[in-house]
Every structure is written in structure tokens, then in C-alpha cells.
Amino acid sequence: MSLDARLAAGPIPHEWQARQVIVGDEAEIVTGPIAEVQNHRDLLEQFGYNPDEMELVGTVNQWRKQQPDGEWLASYFFKVRPREAKLDLPALMSEANRKPRNPIRGTADSRVTVVALSDVQAGKVGARGGTPELVQRLADTRARLEAHLKKVRPQATVLVEAGDLFENFESGGNPAFTNDLSLAQQMDLAGTIVYQFVESMQRHGHVDVLAVPSNHTAWRRGKQELGRPGDDLGLFVHKQTAKVAAAAGIDATWTVPAEYDESVVLDVLGTRVGVTHGHRTSRGRVIDWWAKQAHGGQAVGSADVLVTGHYHSLIVMPTGRNPYTGRSKYWLQCPTLDNGSDWFRNQAGEDSDPGLLVFDITENGLDLQSLTVL
């Protein structure tokens, strides 16, 4: 008989003895007298559980039997589990990420250097080589960046990781499986690359890291994307790297899009720097896509500078104007750092040199004279 049916038949006599019947090792056997039980909460309390922390799973069954001495024995069969926290985590993360972070502020001479790392595609093999060549290329790039930062002496830095941090095996490229690392090795190398850049940049002040989902690092089966944008494996790599950086005492903060968003923005000295990978539109329609993001109230809709990856070539284009500051908005398309997209070169006849886009933000906005490719 279920507890609900038993309660409907009337209160349980006070003189009953109670025993908890447990399956496996979920809890200990408990015997002893039990007071009148009116509901499930009373039952949990009688057996030493906190009803605010534990809950019943499935049906509660009980049996009663009168003993030869005239006393009654009641046996209960039930399972318990910890209550889940009543938190809507996606909603909380979305709200937290939509609220602008504390902006970077400074004096009239302040300068923040933005480093745009894009389309590394760790594990990819192409005309420029494989993993050994990629690792050497990135080491040389970091050395040039360190020399550049020593010269500029910014008060802080921003690392924009514009997507496609590793190659994956499900990106839909043709030919497929042009890799020299497994997926686990690709993710391991990708995390190391991000950590090395952050570690180097934090010698010149606090580092803000911006990361976004992308087509290569998406959780997917072939061309079919799985889960939410926030389930992106590249973002997972960033989250793990952030933990390692925090444990190492590195002065860095990570900002990623809300769970269902694919862009993010950061206020830098009053200039809003936004980033998205760029794979949701074509190269010739990025400006239109950006304008519609403003109409839809999306994160980068308020950006003064939009940084994108995906197209593997440098583009610098002024477009639109901030109605409050009067300054021109800019679309900055990053060059790639990968080993080459030979299938695209063979198809379209286009190719570009690898490089790292770097620029400064001052109190007057984007400093065009600072824009360089390392």
C-alpha cells in the first residue's frame, strides 16, 4: 500500500514500530518508534533527513504487521536523493553576460592594446605545415607581440579569440580529416596556446579575454550542430584555461556570450569592442548582419568596433557612426594564423598571409595609426 493510500485510510497508530527498508547501500537500516506521519515531509524527518535538502524518489510503500506481543511493525520502502538547487542557470548566465562588465577606464593618456587571435585551427595540416610549424609560428608571433607591447606600454590588454581555435573533425571541410592531432590533443594544444598568450600579455597589465563560439569548434555531428551555442568546445577550452590561469595567479578575466548568444562586447575606455566569429553570414554581408544585430538588441549591436574571424584575410572597413560620440564604427576582419586553407585557394584562387591583428583603444576611440599585423 502506498503512503498516500495509507494516509487516506487514517492516521498511523503511535504504537507502531518503524523500519526503513533500503536497496543497496543508499542508507542505513533504521529501527525504532515512529510518531504519527501525516505526509512525506514528516516521513523524511522521522528518519533523520532534512526535507529541505533531500526529496523522495518514486513511490513510498509501507507494510504493517502485528507482532505476537501485540505491537505493530511498520516497514517503509523508499529512496531519497539530494534536492536540486532551484536555479535557472541558463537564465542566470544570460543575465550576467548581458550586463556590461565594469568598463576599463583611465586617464586622457590611457591606452589599451587589443590582440585579435583568430582561426588558429590547431591540429590542421596544410600547405604551411602541421603542428610543429603552427607551434613555431605562434612562438614567433608571441615574441613579436612582446616586443610590440614593451614599446607601446599599454595600461591593460584585451585578448580577442575570434573562433576556430582548433580544427576538429566535424567542420564539414572537403577534404575531411586533414589533421595530425586527435580531438583531445587539439583541445589540449588550444588551451596551451591561449594560456601562453594570456601569460605573456598579463606582464603589461590586466588581461580581458573575449571568446566566442565558431563553426570548427562547435559541438556537432557532421554539418548538424548539437546543443546550444554555449556548448561550443572552444568555449569549454577557454573555461578550463581560465581555471588554470586563476590557480597560477594570472590577472585575467574571461567574458563569453550568454548561453544562447554567439557574440559578446566589452567596454574599453568608453569604446565598445564586440566580437563574433562571422560564420552566420557571408563576407560581403557582415555589415548588414551587424546593423540587424542593433535592431534585434544583440550584444554586438552596441559595438563601436566589430572584430570577426572566419574569412582568413584582413579587412578594415569604416561603417556607420555612433550617434552619441559621433565617431565612426569599424569592422575589423582578422587574418588567419592557421596552416592554410588549400581547398579554398584551389576553389577561389584566394590566399592570405598568416598574422596577428593588433590595435589600440584610447579615450578617443580606435587608434587607426596603431593598427598593425604581427
- For the chain, the distance separating the N- and C-terminal CA atoms, rounded to the nearest angstrom, is 76
Reported as a pLDDT band with limits 50, 70 and 90, residue 15 is very low
Contact 59, 36 (CB under 8 A): no
pLDDT value, residue 47: 74
pLDDT value, residue 129: 82
Judged by DSSP in three states, 124 sits in strand
Return the minimum-mean-pLDDT range out of 105-114, 247-256, 359-368.
Answer: 105-114
The class level of CATH for 94-373 reads alpha beta
pLDDT value, residue 153: 95
pLDDT in tens, 338-357: 766 554 554 555 566 889 99
User: Does residue 34 surpass a pLDDT of 70?
Assistant: no
C-alpha 159 chain-centroid distance = 15
What residues have CB less than 8 Å from 212, skipping those under 6 apart?
161, 162, 163, 235, 256, 257, 262, 263, 264, 275, 276, 277
Identify which of 34, 59, 58 has the alpha carbon closest to the alpha carbon of residue 45: 34
Find cell 561550443 and name the residue: 232
319: enclosing H helix or E strand: strand 315-321
Q: What is the CB-side half-sphere exposure of residue 78 using CA atoms within 13 A?
A: 27
Please state the domain extents for the chain. Answer: 3-82, 94-373
C-alpha cell at 365: 576611440
Amino acid at 138: L
Mean residue pLDDT of the chain comes to 81
pLDDT value, residue 350: 58
CA distance 300 to 366: 16
Backbone angles phi, psi at 23, to 5 degrees: -95, 130
Amino acid at 22: I
What residues have CB less than 8 Å from 284, skipping those under 6 apart?
none
pLDDT in tens, 260-287: 999 999 999 999 999 999 888 888 899 9
User: Does residue 181 surpass a pLDDT of 60?
Assistant: yes
Helices first, then strands: H and E counts in the chain: 8, 17
Average pLDDT of the segment spanning 292-297: 86
Return the minimum-mean-pLDDT range out of 24-38, 143-157, 211-225.
Answer: 24-38
* Continuous H helices in 255-297: 286-295
Average pLDDT of the segment spanning 198-223: 92
Judged by DSSP in three states, 238 sits in helix
- Any idea what DSSP says for residue 121? -
pLDDT in tens, 94-149: 555 555 555 666 555 689 999 999 999 888 888 788 888 888 999 999 999 999 99
